[in-house]
Amino acid sequence: MFGQILHRHGPDDRFINVNVGGFKQRLAHSVLRRFPQSRLARLSCCGSEEAILELCDDFSPAEMEYYFDRSPSFFCYVLNFYLTGKLHLDDTVCVLSFAQEIEYWGIKQRHLDWCCGERFQELMELVTDRGLGHDSESLSMSGLTLSEDGEETFEGSWCAETRRNVWLQLENPTYSRSAKAIAVASLSVVLVSIVAMCVHSLPDFHQVDENDQEIEDPVLAVLENICVVVFSLEFVVRLAVAPSPWRFLSNSLNIIDLMSVMPFYVTLIYDLVDDGDSKELENVGKVVQILRLMRVFRILKLARHSAGLRSLGATLRHSAHEMRLLVLFLSVSISVFSTLTYFVEKEAPESLLQNIPACWWWATISMTTVGYGDTFPVTLPGKLIGTLCIVSGLLIVALPITNIFNKFSIFYERQRLMDLNKKKDLSGE
């Protein structure tokens, strides 16, 4: 046992008899009631057998003994807590079981002694981070790989076997050689579409019609149409053979696929409706121009063929707390340093930092270590503040990096193992 005994009972104290998995112990009421929210303290205050059985597994009125179907070895830690007022964690105890047991007995984590509290928190964070990897949907970000549940979904549906085979061909490149060829062809179309989009931005490929209206290069337009047709057919076929259409449509990667082809059809409808003289469609035309920029989502289609990109997306989703803290720390620091810089630079005529918004811009690029050099302090106090700003930025940005990197490593390793196991399972079939 750990700690110093805080209470020694006298002959007149009242007691309760507890039996925890065969381990019997007699405890004084006065000891238990020092922690009134704990299970045994509430048990000592019960006035009816019904209330008693709500807190223990069985009760013997003849012997006045309370039975608990719990671990007797762990109850030693609980008993030590009642006697000393401090809770300790042994190296041989599973931290998850420890947390579940103290929750059952109504003991708060704050009662952990200083020598064990920090270690308990570290172990819980480690278990939580590793536990994220067991969620296959979070790891793969597709959530639609064929599992046992997927096979059960196909059972009893129309053309179940055909749909299952087509689904595997489209979703799992390791299923067969034809599935791998389909994946390579799909990836090639994505790359061609991205290259065509980049080439279209070059001045040499800009063309105008007789009305000085910008038009697309004919060759690039044909490539665009072919790519969109391929993307559309792939999306429609995958939707038709999906085991669950609603689950399919709610998946992030499939939403990206839909958004990558939607601008083409919106633009096509606009071109068919617009006669060139309608002023009502001018604003619609501006919206269509914005929608055309959504073709950049095709780059994200590469995530379907890359375990690394899927792991990165899952890491960002599960690092939302760290990202919010990073934004908060940066926002507060940028506001402080920009205000200080404004007050020391506003009297210098040659300084460009003559207002707080300009100082915000300078503080942002300084704290994030970008440093364009377009604005900078010129006074000595301003340079000292700038030095503190840069050093603070390095420290703040570095704070969450380790945690985020560890999560990425866990996600990537588990995603790689999932793909490997899936390939072994399919080869075993």
Least confident piece of the model among 54-58, 220-224, 262-266: 262-266
What pLDDT score was predicted for residue 13? 45
Using the Cα atoms of residue 170, residue 172, residue 176 and residue 177 in order, give the sign of their dihedral. positive
pLDDT at 311 over 80: no
What confidence tier does 427 reach under pLDDT thresholds 50, 70, 90?
low
Q: What is the dihedral of CA 217, 223, 225, 230, to 10 degrees?
A: -170
Of 299, 306, 317, residue with least CA distance to 412: 306
Question: What 3-state class would DSSP assign to 1?
Answer: coil
Supply the DSSP symbol for 297. Answer: G
Q: How far apart are CA 148 and CA 419, in angstroms?
A: 16
pLDDT at 133 over 60: no
User: Look-up: residue for tokens 């509430």?
Assistant: 42
Count CB atoms within 10 A of the CB of residue 381: 13
- Residue 237 exposed, middle or buried by CB count within 10 Å (0-12, 13-18, 19+): middle
What pLDDT score was predicted for residue 337? 93
What pLDDT score was predicted for residue 68? 93
pLDDT at 166 over 50: yes
For residue 324, what is the enclosing H or E element?
A: helix 320-345
Best-predicted range by mean pLDDT (286-300, 306-320, 350-364)? 350-364
Best-predicted range by mean pLDDT (289-303, 309-323, 372-386, 395-409)? 372-386
User: Look-up: residue for tokens 């920029």?
Assistant: 293
Token digits for 268? 């096509």
Q: How far apart are CA 265 and CA 259, in angstroms?
A: 11
Best-predicted range by mean pLDDT (107-116, 276-285, 380-389)? 380-389
Supply the DSSP symbol for 378. Answer: -
pLDDT at 65 over 80: yes
What pLDDT score was predicted for residue 362? 92
Distance from CA of residue 50 to its chain's centroid?
44
What pLDDT score was predicted for residue 95? 84
Q: Calculate mean pLDDT across residues 186-213.
A: 78
What confidence tier does 187 reach under pLDDT thresholds 50, 70, 90?
confident
- Entry pTM: 0.49
Q: How far is CA 81 from CA 160, 308, 339, 346, 396, in A?
A: 59, 47, 52, 62, 40
Q: Average model confidence (pLDDT) for the chain?
A: 77
What confidence tier does 363 reach under pLDDT thresholds 50, 70, 90?
very high
Q: Calculate mean pLDDT across residues 83-88.
A: 86
Q: How far apart are CA 41 and CA 19, in angstroms?
A: 15
What pLDDT score was predicted for residue 150? 46
Going by DSSP bridges, is the β-strand pair 65-68/58-60 parallel, antiparallel, or unpaired?
Answer: antiparallel
Residue pair 18/27 in contact by the 8 Å Cβ criterion = yes
Q: Calculate mean pLDDT across residues 409-425.
A: 70
Residue pair 97/46 in contact by the 8 Å Cβ criterion = no
pLDDT at 302 over 60: yes
Residue pair 291/268 in contact by the 8 Å Cβ criterion = no
Distance from CA of residue 144 to its chain's centroid?
18
- Residue 140 exposed, middle or buried by CB count within 10 Å (0-12, 13-18, 19+): buried
Q: How far apart are CA 329 and CA 343, in angstroms?
A: 22
Q: How far apart are CA 382 and CA 145, in angstroms?
A: 57
Q: How far apart are CA 128 and CA 284, in angstroms?
A: 48
Please report how the helices 114-132 and 401-428 are oriented relative to each other, as an axis angle in degrees rounded to 10. Answer: 40
Count CB atoms within 10 A of the CB of residue 31: 22
- Residue 397 exposed, middle or buried by CB count within 10 Å (0-12, 13-18, 19+): middle
Please indicate whether residue 403 or residue 53 has the higher confidence score (pLDDT).
53
Q: How far apart are CA 289 and CA 285, in angstroms?
A: 6
Please indicate whether residue 127 or residue 336 has the higher confidence score (pLDDT).
336
Of 284, 279, 190, residue with least CA distance to 228: 190
Phi, then psi, of 71 in degrees rounded to 5: -70, 120
Least confident piece of the model among 73-77, 255-259, 421-425: 421-425
Distance from CA of residue 248 to its chain's centroid?
20
What pLDDT score was predicted for residue 30? 84
Using the Cα atoms of residue 340, residue 346, residue 352 and residue 358 in order, give the sign of their dihedral. positive
pLDDT at 297 over 80: no
pLDDT at 19 over 80: yes
Of 301, 235, 253, 298, residue with least CA distance to 142: 253
Least confident piece of the model among 5-19, 205-219, 395-409: 5-19
Please indicate whether residue 145 or residue 402 has the higher confidence score (pLDDT).
402
